[in-house]
Amino acid sequence: MAFLQAIGHTFLNGVETLGRLILFALDGLLAIVRPPYYPRLILKQMIEIGYYSLPVVGLTAVFTGMVLALQSFTGFARFSAESAIPQVVVVSLTRELGPVLAGLMVAGRIGAAMAAEIGTMRVTDQIDALSTLSTNPMRYLVAPRLLAATATLPFLVLIADIIGIFGGYIVSIYKLGFNPGIYIHNTLSFLEPLDVISGLVKAAVFGFMIALMGCYHGFHSRGGAQGVGGATTNAVVSASILILISNYIVTELFFAR
Amino acid sequence: MNDRQPKIAIRGLTKSFGLKAVLKGIDLDIAVGESLVVIGGSGTGKSVLIKCILGLMTPDSGSIKIDGEETVGLNGGERERIMAKFGMLFQGSALFDSLPVWENVGFGLIAGDGKPRREAKEVALRKLAAVGLGPDVAELHPAELSGGMQKRVALARAIAREPEIIFFDEPTTGLDPIMSDVINDLIRKCVGELGATALSITHDMASARRIAHRIAMIYGGRIIWQGPVAAIDSSGNDHVDQFIHGRAEGPIKMPVRPL
């Protein structure tokens, strides 16, 4: 009986949390479209999310592209299909690895920072102070972050795609002995706009998820430093899981036959 | 507005958290220009009372009228319109640590009232001067200030929009006696100059005596005594006597476990 009670309790808690999250997301979306707008804060967040994430995302992309070329070569060499490496690198990066790895790296960097900042504001009454100063915290804190993350991540992923493809190119040319002209030609001729577009749509979805989780967990943190620490962990873990789930859903929407 | 109409009128206010009833029916009036101090032990619901009035918490039942207008259940623009009447000094100051001091003080003017930043900065510098802080402090961040200075910045922020009503949540907690007195003086001066209605909550009796016209004591979720500050020493209420003299023995029992 106690076991069933525990299952029921966990289930109800899960449904309650999901409901609260959906309401928070709707509230956040409404806050984006309703004035007042805070362009200065949106720009600040875009710089924080985009510009300052470039080094970590760039490093991830270049090494991923390099490893992808190397692994593909060792695998494809078994059935003499080495010439497919440019195509494999470009499609894997633009469709999957670029957006997913950039999303996960940004979830770690930005999702955690958002949860920690907003969580600290919550436990030190700064969010209540915003309300007493006639400022809606959803519009001031949440809307700029949701908007900036959704708009910036596609640009970040586009740059990650280019850097990743370049990583694959470097390994293919200087280590595996490919002809540079043929490699670039094969890369470009095989690449389709939908490959890139699907990756950028994924990036926008991931950006929204990362900011949503960061803001939601920060907003609902309680109990001082420990609460903020828990909110930070929850933000990163839940954003990462949502990235992987929504990655499948968007892939299904774009490419399922 | 009727001159005799209270600025804030609270009737039958209740608020529970789970099974714990914190407010069990608060009735309280605060007149225009009056400074009321609510005293009471930790966990008696003083902060919950203030948060309910400010709309930061929704009461379970009861009525809160500001200038005769019911405010329970107000949201969005209506709530923001009412909030423009308020200034609030938080217990921990609650300064925005990502913003410099002047922007903290001018925040309500910029974000709430839509004033240009330059104009808001001029007002902020004047308000900082009113609480004894020079322009050299204006560009610092809150983390670079001492506790007393942070309280003064928070006071400047609370009065920056020249509110009709100011709330002070434990204004002297964590300050040394001299700085507490400085803050008490500033509160008296600022409230007096603005002609504002003030509601303070504190357990610091010295502070209560300095800033109050009237004192109310909250205990067990209800207001058990209220009267002019001069009458506090002859209240005839055992709970009030125990509290103001800080005695461990009396009708108020603290849940202390033996060692």
How high is the pLDDT of residue B256?
67
Read off the amino acid at residue A247.
N
What percentage of chain B exceeds 70 in pLDDT? 97
> Residue range A130-155: average pLDDT?
95
Q: Is the pLDDT of residue A21 over 70?
A: yes
H helices of chain A, in order, are 2-33, 39-49, 54-76, 85-91, 98-106, 112-123, 126-132, 137, 143-174, 180-190, 193-219, 224-255
Name beta bridge partners: A182.
none
Name beta bridge partners: B63.
B11
Q: Which residues of chain B have a CB within 8 Å of the CB of A38? A: 111
pLDDT band at B193 (very low <50, low <70, confident <90, very high): confident
CB contact under 8 A, A128 and B113: no
Is residue B51 within 8 angstroms of chain A, CB to CB? yes
Q: Which residues of chain B have a CB within 8 Å of the CB of A136? A: 76, 80
Taken in order A195, A196, A199, A201, the sign of the CA dihedral is: negative
- Which A residues in the span 35-64 are in contact with B, Cβ-Cβ below 8 Å? 36, 38
- Min Cα distance A151 → chain B (Å) is 23
Task: Tell me the average pLDDT of chain A.
Answer: 94
- Taking only the tens place, the pLDDT of each residue in A23-76 is 999 999 999 998 888 999 999 999 999 999 999 999 999 999 999 999 999 888
- Which residues lie below 8 Å from residue A60, measured CB to CB, with a gap of 6+? A101, A102, A105, A160
Which has more confidence, B67 or B253? B67
Task: Report the alpha-carbon distance of residue B157 to residue B128 in Å, rounded.
Answer: 9
ipTM of the complex: 0.88
How high is the pLDDT of residue B176?
84
- Min Cα distance B66 → chain A (Å) is 15
> Running DSSP on this structure, what letter comes out for residue B230?
G
Pairing of strands B222-228, B214-219: antiparallel
How high is the pLDDT of residue B247?
84
Q: Is the pLDDT of residue B3 over 70?
A: no
Cβ burial B151-184 (10 Å sphere, 16+ → b, else e): bbbbbbbbbbbebbbbbbbbbbeebeeebbebbb
Helix (H) or strand (E) holding B187: helix B177-194
CB contact under 8 A, A36 and B88: no
- Taking only the tens place, the pLDDT of each residue in A189-242 is 989 999 999 999 999 999 999 999 999 999 999 888 899 999 999 999 999 999
Q: Which residues of chain A have a CB within 8 Å of the CB of B87? A: 132
- Given A121, A132, A140, which is nearest B54 (Cβ)? A132
Q: Is the pLDDT of residue B161 over 60?
A: yes
Is residue B78 within 8 angstroms of chain A, CB to CB? no
Q: Lowest-pLDDT range, A78-82, A176-180, B1-5, B246-250?
A: B1-5
Which has more confidence, B32 or B258? B32
- Which residues lie below 8 Å from residue B216, measured CB to CB, with a gap of 6+? B28, B36, B37, B38, B39, B223, B225, B226
- A248-251: which pairs have CB atoms within 8 A and are 24 or more residues apart? A250/A198, A250/A201, A250/A202, A250/A205, A251/A95, A251/A96, A251/A198, A251/A202
Q: What CATH superfamily is the domain B1-73+170-183+197-250?
A: P-loop containing nucleotide triphosphate hydrolases (3.40.50.300)
> Residue range B225-232: average pLDDT?
93
CB contact under 8 A, B112 and A128: no
Cis peptide bond N-terminal to A36, omega within 30: yes
CB pairs under 8 A between A and B: 57
CB contact under 8 A, A128 and B92: no
Task: Report the alpha-carbon distance of residue B9 to residue B66 in Å, rounded.
Answer: 7
Backbone dihedral angles phi then psi of residue A62, each to the nearest 5 degrees: -65, -40
Taking residue A226's Cβ as centre, other Cβ atoms within 10 Å add up to 11
- Taking only the tens place, the pLDDT of each residue in B46-103 is 989 999 999 999 999 999 999 999 999 888 788 888 888 999 999 889 999 999 999 9
> Running DSSP on this structure, what letter comes out for residue B43?
T
User: Mutate which of B75, B96, B110, B117 to test chain A, going by most A C-beta atoms within 10 A?
Assistant: B96
- Which B residues in the span 101-130 are in contact with A, Cβ-Cβ below 8 Å? 107-108, 111-114
> Residue range A241-253: average pLDDT?
96
How high is the pLDDT of residue B248?
83
Q: Which residues of chain B have a CB within 8 Å of the CB of A131? A: 54-56, 83
- Min Cα distance A186 → chain B (Å) is 50
CB A99 within 8 A of CB A206: yes
Q: Is the pLDDT of residue B187 over 90?
A: no
Q: Which residues of chain B have a CB within 8 Å of the CB of A48? A: none
Q: Which residues of chain A have a CB within 8 Å of the CB of B54? A: 128, 131-132
Q: Is the pLDDT of residue B178 over 90?
A: no
How high is the pLDDT of residue B2?
54
- CATH 3.40.50.300 range(s) for chain B read 1-73+170-183+197-250
Task: Report the alpha-carbon distance of residue B186 to residue B142 in Å, rounded.
Answer: 19
Task: Report the alpha-carbon distance of residue B60 to residue B175 in Å, rounded.
Answer: 35
Q: Which residue of B has its CA nearest to A36?
A: B111
Is residue B84 within 8 angstroms of chain A, CB to CB? yes
Task: Report the alpha-carbon distance of residue A236 to residue A226 in Å, rounded.
Answer: 16
pLDDT band at B177 (very low <50, low <70, confident <90, very high): confident
- Min Cα distance B82 → chain A (Å) is 9
Q: Is the pLDDT of residue B1 over 60?
A: no
Which has more confidence, B111 or A94? A94
How high is the pLDDT of residue B148?
87
Which has more confidence, B175 or A209? A209
Helix (H) or strand (E) holding B55: none
Would you list the domain boundaries of chain A? 39-252
What percentage of chain A exceeds 90 in pLDDT? 88
Q: Lowest-pLDDT range, A70-79, B120-129, B138-147?
A: A70-79
- Given A126, A132, A134, which is nearest B96 (Cβ)? A126
User: Mutate which of B58, B93, B117, B159 to test chain A, going by most A C-beta atoms within 10 A?
Assistant: B93
Is residue B86 within 8 angstroms of chain A, CB to CB? yes
- Given A121, A131, A133, which is nearest B56 (Cβ)? A131
First to last CA, chain B: 57
How high is the pLDDT of residue B250?
82
Name beta bridge partners: B165.
B86, B197
